[in-house]
Structure 1
């Protein structure tokens, strides 16, 4: 990652950081989240909404535990809410690229906030959306992930 590169994450990274059922993914996600917090990186509010819902619905966490983690992210990352312009662009992206709507909204918000890297397992690895490139950290070699995070 260059000095001008900034990264953000999709909700699945946050979930794997607390879900120990797949140790390999858990370790990678935990590493990414530690760096996310250390750099006070951008984190979409949408991801916190989805994280709370998914972890409590799947019973990975008790509601009070999920809330504590959400509050930690709110304290130690730069939370970015979607804007009306993000919404308009997301609707267009959704229609043009046949993406899930909330994935489109995440992409548009990330681009607006200056992120150039999105870590996610839900998109084609290496796919670009304008200045944003999606990377699946779970299919990368350690050296490649380290380079993107350094």
Structure 2
């Protein structure tokens, strides 16, 4: 297990580029700068990158251009301090089982299954309610942790 590595959930990545939520943007930007400065390594799933693209180009108040969003994703994929997690057919079956057992949305479950497949047990997310149901995952909401 990679106990010291945190997965960055989509919401955290989005907030770092969403100026409509300045407090959340500040906290998320601080987290991500640690990775870009090579002070820490983070994990991110292909699912997160796909969700990020859709949200930042269509759903935030001031959407990014598709080209800028693509460049951000490409930078993450190519940067050594980001571990990009892939899923496979086992992840899908595990996700279905997690979704049923813990009564969570399938898309949260597939993220958890991908983490499990890659030995990641920690996640920065705003969605601690659902992801926190998985007993082997430590779900940390940075907006609570860093505002203490």
- TM class by shorter chain equals 0.7 to 0.9
Q: 1:85 to 1:79 in 2, by over 3 A?
A: same
Structure 2, unpaired ranges of 5+: none
Contact 2:102 2:133 in 1 (8 A): no
Superposed CA offset, 1:83-120 (max 9, x none): 11111100011112121111101011112212221111
| Counterpart selection for 1:96 from 98, 101, 104 | 101
Q: CA shift at 1:139, angstroms?
A: 1.4
- TM-score if structure 2 supplies the norm length? 0.85
Distance 1:140 1:12 in 2: 16
Q: CA shift at 1:126, angstroms?
A: 8.8
Q: Are residue 70 (structure 1) and residue 73 (structure 2) matched? A: yes
Distance 1:121 1:4 in 2: 20
* 3-state SS of 2:128 partner: coil
Runs of 4+ in 1 over 3 A off after TM superposition: none
Superposed CA offset, 1:56-100 (max 9, x none): 112520101100111111111221111111111000111121211
* Segment of structure 1 superposing worse, 31-40 or 9-18: 31-40
Over aligned residues, Cα RMSD in angstroms?
Answer: 2.1
Distance 1:138 1:126 in 2: 16
Q: Specify the alignment match of 1:113 in structure 2.
A: 118
| Counterpart selection for 2:139 from 112, 126, 134 | 134
Q: CA shift at 1:129, angstroms?
A: 2.0
Structure 1, unpaired ranges of 5+: 144-150
- TM-score if structure 1 supplies the norm length? 0.84
Q: CA shift at 1:25, angstroms?
A: 0.5
Distance 1:130 1:23 in 2: 32
Q: Are residue 51 (structure 1) and residue 56 (structure 2) matched? A: no
Q: CA shift at 1:52, angstroms?
A: 0.4
* 3-state SS of 1:139 partner: helix
Number of residue pairs matched by the alignment: 141
